[in-house]
A = this chain, B = another copy of it.
Amino acid sequence: MKVLKERIIKDGKIREGNVLKVDAFLNHQLDIELFEQMGEEFKRRFEGKKITKILTIEASGIAIACIAARYFKVPVVFAKKTQTKNIAGDVYTSKVESFTHGKVYDIIVSKEFLRPEDHVLIIDDFLANGKALLGLTKLVQDAGATVVGAGIAIEKGFQDGGKLIRESGIQLESLAIIDAMSVEEGITFRK
């Protein structure tokens, strides 16, 4: 997606350790107009597919998922990263290892909000090692619901998450795929 790639070039900052900082527009300050264009693009890529719900994960996935949901006209459910006293005990749960934070955490979704009849589109901001996406996929499968596909803003194509997900047969649509990046040579997108 051209407008997203251009924005990554303009405002993204590459940091040591394969960290791409896009907090000026994607996951700290949020450019809602850009998110609307991304939502429209997700709608185009999953056109004709039956989707009853969008699933994402807190925190930065929520913004993209909510704006995208306007185009699909379905509710959003976000998986939570820790058990709070507002969540009933009756939850689906999965373990996820975070690339960014370097730790393992539990993600949970209340069983009320994922039903066997649901057709679920998973949306998130980043795909790197794929652990969050696989964890979300497991929650949907545990519910007996259908994973329709996954929509990602930025995929780090040099890590193996995208390959894992595509090989598992899930329709994965990443709006920008980075094949290489370094402080010295900048960012190379996949054609």
Contacts and interface: CB of A to CB of B under 8 A. Distances in A.
Contact of A29 (B23, B67, B76, B100): B76
A110 interface: yes
B24 A112 contact: yes
Nearest to A63: B66
A27 B75 CA distance: 12
A23 B110 contact: yes
A166 to B, nearest CB: 26
Task: Count copies of this chain in the complex.
Answer: 2
A23 B28 CA distance: 24
Interface in A150-167: none
B28 A113 contact: yes
Interface stretch (A84-92, A133-141, A169-177, A183-191): A84-92
A96 B121 CA distance: 34
A36 interface: yes
A28 B62 contact: no
A123 B35 CA distance: 19
Question: A19, A24, A84: which has the most chain B beta carbons within 10 Å?
Answer: A84
A132 to B, nearest CB: 14
Interface in A88-116: 100-102, 109-110, 112-113
Given A19-B85, A23-B86, 14 more contacts: A21-B86, A23-B87, A23-B110, A29-B113, A30-B76, A32-B66, A32-B74, A58-B58, A62-B63, A63-B63, A66-B67, A67-B67, A67-B70, A84-B100
Interface of A: 19, 21, 23-25, 27-33, 35-36, 58-59, 62-63, 66-67, 69-70, 73-78, 80, 84-87, 100-102, 109-110, 112-113
